[in-house]
Amino acid sequence: MCLSIPGQLIEITSELDETFRVGRVSFDGIIKEVSLTLVPEARVGHYVMVHVGAAISLVDEEEAKKTFELLKQLGELHDLDDPQINS
């Protein structure tokens, strides 16, 4: 099953222009580099849904936290600890 995982955008690390950007996203303290191309409206502090290394949408903080906790309870976050995945 393919999932998108919510995380908080904590830093824009690369910006070619308004569209082609990369940022650091925190998933409960685990930081990954993520493409922001599909969410040009995303700003530091926003919560984004991330799928295979790309932020695909914005989500509000409350919903992001609920979803993350549910995924944690289901044991679906094991790939976040893998340094080979989107580090």
Domains defined for the chain, CATH in brackets? 5-80 (2.30.30.140)
Provide mean pLDDT across the span 58-85: 78
Which run of H or E residues covers position 12? strand 5-15
Reading the block at residue 59, the tokens are 């989500």
What is 20-83 written as a DSSP string?
SEEEEEEETTEEEEEE-TT-TT--TT-EEEEETTEEEEEE-HHHHHHHHHHHHHHT--GGGG-T
Mean pLDDT confidence for 31-43: 96
The predicted model scores a pTM of: 0.82
CB-facing half-sphere around the CA of 67: CA atoms within 13 A: 17
- Mean pLDDT, range 10-32, rounded to an integer: 92
Nearest 5°: phi and psi at 7?
-150, 165
The confidence score (pLDDT) of residue 19 equals: 82
The yes-or-no verdict on residue 83 having pLDDT over 60 is no
